Amino acid sequence: MEVLGRLLALLVVLLLGAGLRMSGVLDERRTDRLNAAAYYVALPALIFVSTYDQAIGSLLSVELAVGVTVVLFSTAGLAWLVHRHRSSPARRSVAIVQSYHSNLGYLGLPLVAATFGGDVTAIASVVLGFVTLMQLPLTVVLLSTINGASANIGVELRGLATNPVLLSLLIGLGVGSLGVTVPSGAATGVDVLGALALPLALLCVGASLQLETPTIDFEATGTVVALKICCMPVLAWAVFSALAVDAATLTATVVMLGTPTAVSTFVFASSLGGDEEFASLNVFVTTLASVATLFVLITLVG
């Protein structure tokens, strides 16, 4: 019941963000400030405090790298097979991308940190960094290729080099691997900032959700939901069980890869010729439906 209560609280904060946006309290300027606080301060703090006392060898294993790669590209391949016959390239590209592109930073890692112990959170931080390096370029390539839109892959890759999430992960793993001692006061302060990651991120996601859409393609949206929050975590469970990883790795990967579609996919779709209304609807529906599926996943793996 504690897990259910936590997820229901997550839903309340998420809907609060949407309500504040609709009422005008969270306008574009204030939402941007909240996003900046979450993305540049709270989330990096959470990643650092989860990894600064861990050696990289204890977190990043061959099994983890192989398993995450297999799950990501297998889901993307399955999504391409399922959605390849959709007549509109704009809708087809969005459906494929949103079937695998996970909300790891704003929902996955904060949720893991609030629900599980430090060992699971540390591995989830590595999953966040590793998957980001693959799913972001893959999403840009697929959207630009299918829609015939121009995209500067070099710019996206350079953006990854300055990504605060990845930088904080590298710094945390570096400190842990070198055995550098972090003063207790500093660690406590960073821990407090990291605790703000989940509520800030949920408000930002809620404020970013677009609820208005004139037409709903129930079959297409239902397929995206099924692939993203049902098929992908089940595939992760099967792959990592076959790899015989430890319980912390299994828990971290299954929950992280079971998160809903990332809000960033709507941004990419808007700039690379995708169906914006369809993308917005899918983000909203997968996020709401994930409250139920994440409860099941957390109950089973926890």
Alpha helices in the chain (DSSP H): 2-23, 28-37, 43-51, 56-59, 62-83, 89-98, 109-115, 118-147, 153-161, 164-178, 184-195, 197-208, 218-226, 232-242, 247-257, 264-271, 276-301
* Predicted local distance difference test score (pLDDT) of residue 224: 96
For 31, 113, 258, 273, the CA distances from 294, given in Å and listed in that order, are 26, 14, 7, 31
* Predicted local distance difference test score (pLDDT) of residue 92: 94
- Per-residue pLDDT tens over the stretch 242-294: 999 999 999 999 999 999 999 889 888 888 888 888 888 898 889 889 989 99
Mean of pLDDT values over 96-109 = 93
Domain span at 183: 2-301
* Cβ-contact 132, 103 below 8 angstroms: no
Give the number of C-alpha atoms closer than 13 A to the C-alpha of residue 229, restricted to the C-beta side.
Answer: 26
Euclidean distance between CA atoms 266 and 281, whole angstroms: 9
Q: How far is CA 38 from the centre of its chain?
A: 14
Mean of pLDDT values over 141-152 = 81
Residue 182 banded pLDDT, cuts 50, 70, 90: confident
Number of domains in the chain: 1
Residue 207 banded pLDDT, cuts 50, 70, 90: confident
Q: Is the pLDDT of residue 198 over 80?
A: no
Q: Tell me the chain's radius of gyration from C-alpha atoms.
A: 18
Considering only residues 133 and 239, tell me which one the structure prediction assigns the higher pLDDT. 239
Q: Is the pLDDT of residue 210 over 70?
A: no
Q: Which of 7-11, 27-31, 74-78, 264-268 has the highest mean pLDDT?
A: 74-78
- Per-residue pLDDT tens over the stretch 68-80: 999 999 999 999 9
* Predicted local distance difference test score (pLDDT) of residue 76: 97
* Predicted local distance difference test score (pLDDT) of residue 243: 95
The share of the chain scoring above pLDDT 90, in percent, equals 36
Mean of pLDDT values over 227-250 = 96
Q: Is the pLDDT of residue 187 over 90?
A: no
Residue 288: burial class (beta carbons within 10 Å; 0-12, 13-18, 19+): middle
Nearest by Cα to 293 from 94, 9, 2, 4: 4
Q: Is the pLDDT of residue 152 over 70?
A: no
Pair of tokens at residue 155 = 């710019």
* Predicted local distance difference test score (pLDDT) of residue 213: 53
Euclidean distance between CA atoms 118 and 125, whole angstroms: 10
Pair of tokens at residue 175 = 């400190």
* Predicted local distance difference test score (pLDDT) of residue 99: 97
Domain CATH code at residue 256: 1.20.1530
Q: Is the pLDDT of residue 302 over 90?
A: no
Q: Is the pLDDT of residue 157 over 70?
A: no
Considering only residues 96 and 27, tell me which one the structure prediction assigns the higher pLDDT. 96
* Cβ-contact 245, 63 below 8 angstroms: yes
Average pLDDT, the chain: 86
Q: Is the pLDDT of residue 214 over 80?
A: no
Maximum pairwise Cα distance, the chain? 58
Pair of tokens at residue 28 = 């574009």
Pair of tokens at residue 299 = 């109950």
Residue 2 banded pLDDT, cuts 50, 70, 90: low
Mean of pLDDT values over 40-51 = 86
